[in-house]
Amino acid sequence: MNRRAVHFVGSFPADTTEGAMRAMLDAAGPRLRTLPTGETRRYEFYIRPIIENLVQQGVLEVDRPREWRSSRDRTRHRVPRGGRLVAEALDLGYRSEAEEALPIFRQLCPDHATSGTALQIGMPTDFTLAFIALGVTGVFRHRAAFAAATAREITRIRELAGDQVVIQLEATAELVLMASAQPLHRPVDTVLGLARGIAGIAAAAPAGTRFGVHLCLGSLHNKARATLRDTRPLVDLANAIVRHWPPDRPLEFLHAPLAAGDVPPPDRPEFYAPLRRLALGAQTAFYAGVVHETPTDEEQLHLLSLVEDALGRPVDGVASACGLGRRPRVVADALLTRAERTAAGGESGV
């Protein structure tokens, strides 16, 4: 059986970028195909710091302040009256994150060229960023500016690091909308162009840029924004992304959440049955977001077996459903080691 990877989605509750990257590397280094930065400046609230930085830049302003107790109870923003949102004015901060992390990555992974490990930079899709910042109307009015700004950041990161970096596109609003609309989720993708938009980010990037896609159900305060009845919306969105994906931008992995925030993966074979239709192609790894703090180790391996029985083959890697930044540090550390144990246990057939 092939050696399973361990995938860490991105965020980790550490004080420094080096501390986060070292913790993940120490826990599962030989199994890591990508090493995230830990997103230590935004790990607790994910997109909120990006949006608040845009407010400080003067390109957005607060419309309806809220406490961010949940994704519904979030502050809404708007473009200042009389202003116009243009990509040139949007500094999303990903290049700065890469500039900080790249020397640390090269120090911690001096043999990255032979080991195959790459630095992972995670960024929300333009749809997700516009949706959370500005709401539905903001997506239709201003998504193009976010898309162009995201493409510019990816280009600058590739100029900085070349093939040493994998860009992880994080599609939260897209999967939440699909899950919420089930069983009418396919028309949602068609009308809003969700999969086409995700692939469009890759198409706008330089040829050869390496990508992964993280499908997400949200995890603000470790609470998911939506839950899946079964994996059909996830499979349909993933397959549509692959159909639209440009051929000269490698799609190296797709990560799928099979848990949801503080809710563990379901112990129901029918939940996973649609995975049989997943069609990623031979070059795209499937990372199962099945690792969770609630099940025992034995139960965790049973859940992995349900996934693989439905998929019809071993998964390429295991992961938690989302980043670990919304967990207490002691829980995050435990999940690092649990991910490695789950991958290893699955290999031994336990």
**In the prediction, which pLDDT does 45 show?**
62
Question: What distance in Å separates the CA atoms of residue 61 and residue 77, rounded to the nearest whole number?
Answer: 6
Kindly write down the DSSP assignment for every residue of 37-102, as one continuous string: -B-TTTTTTTTHHHHHHHHHHTS-EEEE----SSSSS--EEEPPTT----GGG---SHHHHHHHHH
d(CA 344, CA 6): 10
Nearest to 333 by CA among 324, 343, 341: 324
DSSP, collapsed to helix, strand or coil, labels residue 234 as: helix
Q: Which two tokens stand for residue 137?
A: 């109307």
Are 71 and 220 a contacting pair, CB within 8 Å?
Answer: yes
Tokens coding 100: 């900080």
Q: Determine the Cα–Cα distance for residues 204 and 56; give it in Å rounded to an integer.
A: 27
Give the C-alpha separation, 10 to 169, whole Å.
Answer: 11
Q: What is the pLDDT of residue 221?
A: 61
Query: Tokens in use for 112?
Result: 């990255």
List the domains of the chain with CATH numbers.
5-348 (3.20.20.210)
CB contact at 8 A, 274 and 242: no
**Residuewise pLDDT in 10s, the chain (350 residues):** 468 999 999 999 999 999 999 999 999 999 999 999 999 876 556 778 888 888 898 888 887 777 666 666 677 888 888 778 888 888 999 999 999 999 999 999 987 765 789 999 999 999 999 998 888 888 888 899 999 999 999 999 999 999 999 999 999 999 999 999 889 888 888 878 899 999 999 999 999 999 999 999 876 666 767 788 999 999 999 999 999 999 899 999 999 999 887 778 889 999 999 999 999 989 999 999 999 999 999 999 999 999 999 999 999 999 999 999 888 999 999 999 999 999 998 665 43
